[in-house]
Structure formats: C-alpha cells, structure tokens
Amino acid sequence: MIEITNVNKSYTGVEKAVDNLNVVIPEGEIFGFLGPNGAGKTTSIKMITGILKPDSGSIKINGKDIVSQTVEAKKQFGFVPDTPNMFLRLKGIEYLNFMADIYGVPSDLRLERIESMSKRFSMTDALGDQIQSYSHGMRQKIVVMGALIHEPPVWILDEPMTGLDPKSSYVLKEMMKEHVQSNKTVFFSTHVLDVAERICDRVAIINKGKILFCGKMEEIKEHFKSNDSLEKMFLEMTEHE
Amino acid sequence: MNNIFTLTKIFLKDIINSIILSNKKSRRSLILMAIVGIILVPVVRNFIFYLSKIFDVLIEVQQEALLLSLGVVISSSIIFFFGFFYIISAFYFSKDTENLLPLPIKPYEIISAKFIQVVLYEYLTALIVLAPILIMYGVKTSAGILYYFSALITFLIVPVVPLVFASFIVMIIMRFSNIGRNKDFLKLLGGISALIIGIGFNIVMQRNLTGALSDPEAIEQMLLEGSNSLAAVISSLFPGLNFAIQGLVNYNYMAGMLNMIIFIGITSLIFGVFLYLSERLYFKGILGLSQSNSKKRLLTKEVLKNNTKSKAVIISYTTNELKLLFRTPTYFLNCILMSFIWPIFFLIPAFSQPGGLQNLREVVINMQQTNGSLVIAIGFAIAIFITSTNSIASTAISREGQNYYVNKFIPVSYGIQIAAKVFAGSIIGLIGIGTVLIVSILAFGVNIPIALLILITSLLGILFISMIGIMFDLYSPKLNWDNEQKAVKQNFNVFYTMMIGSLIAGITVYTIYQLEINTVETSILLISLYGFLNIITYILLKSTGVKWYEQLGD
C-alpha cells in the first residue's frame, strides 16, 4: 500500500512541480499514473522512492514513512527508473547479484529467481555479458529483474514499457497482474494510454503538478459521459484544463 | 578551417560549462576555490622568492639563460608526460567523438580542434611552471617590451611539439590496438603501453641530461663558453626549443627575431606533418571503439551458483565500486594506475643515472640507521600523497553522475554507502603504499620492521585523507557530465584533496624531523594523532556528510 498525503514539491520556490498530491493505492491494485511530459509524474515517483525529499506532506509505503524510516520503507518496494543505463560495466549476473546483496536475498532464493526471471524475459544467454553490450530493451529487462529480485510487496515503475519488445512487454504485464493477484501493489507511470486502459485497475491523470482526476476507468468514462477512447479524454483533460 | 573553429568553440563551451555552470551548487564550489586560493598565496610567494634567489646567483656567474632553458625544457617534459593522459582521454575516450563521426567533418579538423583543446589545458601547466620563469627573467634582466612579446610567443607555442610527439605515439598505438573484441580492455592496453613508452622516454631523456651534466669538466667548459652553450645541450631534446631560447636571450637583435621565426617555423612544420599523418591514423583508431561485443553464452549452473553467493551489503557495495574503477578505462587510468605509477616515478631518478640506484640505496640505509623516524614520516607522507592523488574518494560521488539517484532509492543507509566509497579509495591507497614498500625493501634496503611501522601508520593516514576527499565531493559533487573524463579530470575536488594531502604530508614530515624522537615514539605519535583526527572526521562525515548526501539532486 502507498499512502501519499498532502505532498508538495517545488524546485524554484515559486512554481510547484507537485501541488498537494493525495493518493492512496491499496493492496491488490495496479495503479496507473498518466500525464504529459513535465506533468510531475517523475517528480512524484522520485519523492515516493526517496530520491527527492517532499517540501511538505507525508509518503508511506506499507506503513513505513519514506522520510523518517527511510531504509525500512525502501525495502518495501522495487523500483524501475525510466532510464535503464546504470552499472553498464557490470555483467548482467553481477548486477543482479549486487541488487540481491543490497536487498538481502538469500543465496539459494536469488539463484532460483534469477533463473526463472531470465527464462521469462529470454535473458538467459545474456547474463554473462556486460550490460553495456545490451540493447535498450535488454537493459530495461535487466533493470526490471534487478528491481523484482527481492520480490517486493510494492512495485514502482517509471515508464516500464519503453523499449520493450512486444513479448517482454506482455510478460511484464502478466507479471504485474500476477503480483496484484497475490494482494500486492503495482504503481507505474506511462504515456502509453492503451496500456493503462487495458491493465490498470485505477488511474490518476496528472498535469502541472495537480491530479486532475483519479478513479476507475469506467468512472472516467462516466465523468466525460462519452464512449471516447481514453486518449481523447486524456488530451481533453490535460489541454483544456 | 571554419569547422575547426566551430568544433573548438563547442569543445571549449562544453568544458567551461562543465566546470562552472553545470554545478548547481556553484556557490559552494566558489567558496571552496576562494579558500584554496587564500591557502595558495603563501606557497606561490615562497616559490617566487626562491626563484628570484636562484636568478640572483645565476646572474652573478652570467648563467641566467640556464634557468630560462631549464624552465622551457622542464615544462616541455611535464607537458609531454601529462599530455599522454589528456590526449588518450580527449582523442579516444571521450564520447563526443562518436557523435562527430556521421557529420561531414574531416579527421584533421576534429584532430585540430581536439588538439587545441589539449593545448589549452596544458597552458595551465605552463602557467605554473613556465610563466614565472619567463617573467622573472624579464624582470631580472630589465628586458624591454620585445622580450615579453617573444616570451608570450614562446609560452603559447612551447606545448605544441611535446604534445605532437605524445599524440603521435598514442595514435600509432591506438591504431593497432583497435582490433579484436574486448574494446575496453584494448583501450586500456593502448593507454598503458603509451604511458610506458612515455615513462621510458623520460628515463632516457633524464639519463642523457644527467649524463651531460654529470661530467664536471664539460660543465665548466660550457660555463666558460658563455651562457648559451649549456642551454643548447638541454634544449636539443625537443626540436626548435633551442631557437626559442636563443630568440628570448637575444630578443633585442635581428638574430633573436630570426631565431624566433625559425622556432615558429619548425613548430608549424611538425604540426603540419602531424596533421597529415593523423588524417591517416585517427579514424582507424576510433572506429568501433565504443562497441562492445557480447558473447551470448549460456552460463552453466556452476557459474551461476558461484556468481550468486550472498555478501554483506558493505562488502558488496565496495566490491562494486572497485569493479567499476577497474573496468572503466578512464577511471582505471586516472585512479587505479595513478596509484602504481608513483613507485615508478621514484625509480626514474635511480635508473636514470649510472650508479643512481646504489647511491639512493646508501642514502636510505644511512638515514634508516641515523634517523629511522624520518623514514617512517616520509613513508607515511608518500601514502597520503598516493591516496590523495588517486582521486578515488574525492570523485566517489561525482563518478555516479546522473545515476546518483540509484544510491538514493536502494535500501542502504547513506552512512554505509559513504563508508564503502571511503574503503574503495583506501584499499587502492593501501595497495599503492604496499607496492612502494615492497619496492623500497627490495631495491633500497628499507628494513622490514620500519616498513611495517610505515604500513600501520599509513593505514590511518590513508583513511583520513580518503574521508577528507569524500567530504569535498559530498559538499560540491560534479554530477552533470556526459563523459567519465569530466568526473575525474575536470573536477576541482581532486585538486583540493591533493592540496590538503600535500600539506598534511609536508607538515608531518617537517614536524617529525624537528621533534627528534625515535621510531617507536614516532609511530605512537602518528597513530594517536591520526587516530584522533580520524574519529573527528568520522563524526563529521556521519552527521554533515550524510546530510549533504541526502541533499543530492535537491
């Protein structure tokens, strides 16, 4: 569960990047965070994951406060950032093992998880190579694997589908669904509305740091009283504020 | 021609931005610069004072041109040596080259722009080594305006020939090492062989130099012949330098002017030849340099199992830091290799003279018997110096670059992360001083108990300077860079740490020398003093350092 209460963030001190954010994402839910570039999605995610400190308000992950119980809160989630270009000179297997050490996954468990995930993502024959030799999609996959190696109760993913081939994209979506079926939480941002429409239980639409709407897909449709595609609604909401 | 200017402008803007503007906390870096500037003033004043004294003595024996030529030659050698690092990084390791390849630009245009970039860097070196001597000579001999004009030309042109030599060696090696699969490894191999050749060249040069200077009769002869002959011997090392010196000394005569023109001519010719050759060598050396091949091999069950053993977080994090340092060519060259190059530097004078090793050995053994504590203090100082120049701790945060955020979302406390980074720098520092000690035991007859005492005291010194280094980098890290070179080379935190390191090393040696205590007392003093300093710095790092880490990116 993620509880975001009255969160504000401003970089310049004048304009707010995130303006009084209030969202609760319960267990068993895939939550989509939608918005155009510069809407405040990544800033919000950075605050949730402890990369940025909110100016005010509180963020709790499974009841642990990210500011005051930092390390405990960070153990609750696995995070996939929007650019997968990190630790390029480590081999895939070394990266996964490093993440497993960081999150304290026992040896036998990590081996089992690495084997099963690399099979699902067709990465088995790439683990021995340095990440810098990977394509963008492969890098994305290894980062996803690293984030999920400790089987975190909460998944936080920033634009996770970017660069993934259709099969891997499908696998990831399946994994998200399985994850929430075991009563856990998935929070991800995307600009691919189609994805959001198909797999999200609930979405929030954010623009200029403010949540314009938050609710179930049907509710949004109801809200606009039309059967238009999400894309059109999305444009409408963000442009004609 | 236009392309060269455009490229140079872009490269320079990039550098200037990366030094000044990119740093969000530029106010902090300005504060640091101001403090260091103030500390530097007395150092510079002393340097000028001694320089002036030397000049007075030389003027008395009418050998004032000697210092001039020594200045030119020494700065050329230094430029030549450091040129290797700059050139390998600028020509081959910097990523911007890759973006230029698809553009309709000729190789010589890229090379020229990159060369200018390196020359500009080297002006900083020349500003420290050459400029004071040129100015001092002018003042002491009450030279006219024409002298200063010649001096300016000399200053501007002197770096060119040594850098051409260095570039040429680097280019040939990179041309032929750029084949095969593991590019990172080959890049490194190329870099290292260029360095070895550079060091070898220096040894040979010094041998010749000291050979010429070690014959008292020959020197006397040259002194009798007047002020210019000795200079001629020294400056024949790099073509054209002799003409520059003649031009400077005889600035008021037609012959002087002519010499200056010849100097410019020779330099231009050498540069022209260099451009011509680079057109043929450069692209073949960089093509595919950034590619890295994959093996696409299935890992066996056993390999998988061996690679998935669990480690304590701090060990895992430290290992990871070390892996990245060893595997990233720029870091390997500037951080790892630097730690092992110093023993070689110490050996150069020993090998560059006939019987030099034996002489040095006698000095060390003698000192060990009469003043063992001084040997310990010097060993301790070398350890601090090596650790502060390896720049691992002082760039630990900067090296993270835009990926710094990874450290902020992983569930590892900032204290542990900082500790792991300090350990990585200290381990390499320790291996560095270890190598120096082994060489000293084998080659210079340092006895083992003394070496052990050095090792034990050094441990605390190394930890201390590593913590100081990371403190600087936490205060004002350089996270905005697009190629690794900027994180370790164009980073003032390295310079600050080196300054503090040299200062501490100097003060420690001086104090121990003055105190006249025995080896055991020296060790106890060093251990308790630096033990205490370490505790203070640790407390500071735990509180303020962690706070700075928290603020990263905010």
What is the ipTM, given to two decimal places? 0.90
Q: With an 8 Å Cβ cutoff, are B296 and A98 in contact?
A: no
Q: Domain extents for chain A? A: 1-6+20-76+156-241, 87-152
Contact B82, B126 (CB under 8 A): no
3-state DSSP call for residue A34? Answer: strand
User: What does the radius of gyration of chain A's CA atoms come to, in whole angstroms?
Assistant: 18
Q: With an 8 Å Cβ cutoff, are B310 and A114 in contact?
A: no
3-state DSSP call for residue B219? Answer: helix
Among the residues of B130-215, which ranges form H helices? 131-140, 145-157, 160-177, 183-213
Q: With an 8 Å Cβ cutoff, are A50 and B409 in contact?
A: yes
Contacts of B193 (CB under 8 A, 6+ apart): B173, B177
> Is residue B100 within a helix (H) or strand (E), and if so which, with residue range?
helix B96-100
Q: With an 8 Å Cβ cutoff, are A111 and B303 in contact?
A: no
Contact A196, A203 (CB under 8 A): yes
Which of A99, A95, A83 has the alpha carbon at shortest distance from A130?
A: A95
What is the spatial order of strands in the sheet that A56-61 belongs to? A16-25, A2-10, A56-61, A64-65
- Which of B307, B330, B548 is best to mutate for the A interface (most A CBs within 10 A)? B307
> In this complex, is the C-beta atom of B306 within 8 Å of any C-beta atom belonging to chain A?
no
Of A81, A100, A126, the CB nearest to B405: A81
What CATH number belongs to A1-6+20-76+156-241? 3.40.50.300
Within a 13 Å sphere around the CA of A14, how many CA atoms are in the beta-carbon half?
0
- The DSSP 8-state label assigned to residue A131 in this structure reads G
pLDDT in tens, chain A (241 residues): 999 999 999 887 778 889 999 999 999 899 999 887 778 888 999 999 999 999 999 999 999 999 999 999 999 999 999 888 889 889 999 999 999 999 999 998 999 999 999 999 999 999 999 898 898 889 999 999 999 999 999 999 998 888 788 888 888 888 889 888 988 899 999 877 777 888 888 989 888 888 888 888 778 777 766 656 666 666 666 665 4
Q: With an 8 Å Cβ cutoff, are B411 and A71 in contact?
A: yes
Q: With an 8 Å Cβ cutoff, are A87 and B324 in contact?
A: yes
How many Å separate Cα B439 from the centre of its chain? Answer: 22
The predicted pLDDT at position A59 comes to: 95
- Report the chain B residue with the minimal C-alpha distance to residue A109: B308
Q: Extract the residue ranges of chain B whose pLDDT is less than 70.
A: 1, 15-27, 29, 177-191, 193-195, 197-237, 287-295, 345-346, 348-354
Contact B158, B126 (CB under 8 A): yes
Indicate the pTM of the whole model: 0.80
- Residue B25 C-alpha, separation from nearest chain A C-alpha, in angstroms: 14
Counting one residue from chain A and one from chain B, the pairs whose CB atoms sit within 8 A come to: 111
Q: With an 8 Å Cβ cutoff, are A129 and B299 in contact?
A: no
User: What does the radius of gyration of chain B's CA atoms come to, in whole angstroms?
Assistant: 25
> Is residue B527 within a helix (H) or strand (E), and if so which, with residue range?
helix B519-540
- What does the alpha-carbon distance between residue B227 and residue B243 come to, in Å, rounded to a whole number? 14
> Is residue B32 within a helix (H) or strand (E), and if so which, with residue range?
helix B26-60
Contact A115, B316 (CB under 8 A): no
> In this complex, is the C-beta atom of B294 within 8 Å of any C-beta atom belonging to chain A?
yes
Q: With an 8 Å Cβ cutoff, are B296 and A129 in contact?
A: yes
Of B292, B308, B408, the CB nearest to A114: B308
- Report the chain A residue with the minimal C-alpha distance to residue B309: A107
Q: How many helices (H) and strands (E) does chain A have?
A: 9, 10
The predicted pLDDT at position A143 comes to: 93
Of B299, B411, B550, the CB nearest to A102: B411
Tokens of B534: 């370490």
Instruction: Please report residues of B whose CB lies closer than 8 A to that of A99.
Output: 410
The predicted pLDDT at position B411 comes to: 95
The sign of the CA dihedral B500, B501, B504, B506 is negative
- Residue A9 C-alpha, separation from nearest chain B C-alpha, in angstroms: 10
- Residue A49 C-alpha, separation from nearest chain B C-alpha, in angstroms: 6
> Is residue A216 within a helix (H) or strand (E), and if so which, with residue range?
strand A210-216
- Residue B550 C-alpha, separation from nearest chain A C-alpha, in angstroms: 8
Residue with tokens 């002006």: B123
- Residue A54 C-alpha, separation from nearest chain B C-alpha, in angstroms: 10
Of A50, A72, A90, the CB nearest to B408: A50
- What does the alpha-carbon distance between residue B503 and residue B494 come to, in Å, rounded to a whole number? 14
The predicted pLDDT at position B471 comes to: 95
Instruction: Please report residues of A whose CB lies closer than 8 A to that of B413.
Output: 70-71
Instruction: Please report residues of B whose CB lies closer than 8 A to that of A126.
Output: 294, 296
The predicted pLDDT at position B241 comes to: 79
- What does the alpha-carbon distance between residue A147 and residue A86 come to, in Å, rounded to a whole number? 13
Of B294, B298, B554, the CB nearest to A53: B554
What DSSP assignment string belongs to B499-517? HHHHHHHHHHHHHHHHH--
Q: With an 8 Å Cβ cutoff, are A85 and B328 in contact?
A: no
Q: With an 8 Å Cβ cutoff, are B411 and A75 in contact?
A: yes
- What does the alpha-carbon distance between residue B89 and residue B487 come to, in Å, rounded to a whole number? 12
Q: With an 8 Å Cβ cutoff, are B294 and A126 in contact?
A: yes
Q: With an 8 Å Cβ cutoff, are A49 and B408 in contact?
A: yes
Q: With an 8 Å Cβ cutoff, are B409 and A111 in contact?
A: no
Which of B468, B470, B446, B450 has the alpha carbon at shortest distance from B458?
A: B450
Tokens of B289: 């340099």
3-state DSSP call for residue B238? Answer: coil
Instruction: Please report residues of A whose CB lies closer than 8 A to that of B311.
Output: 101
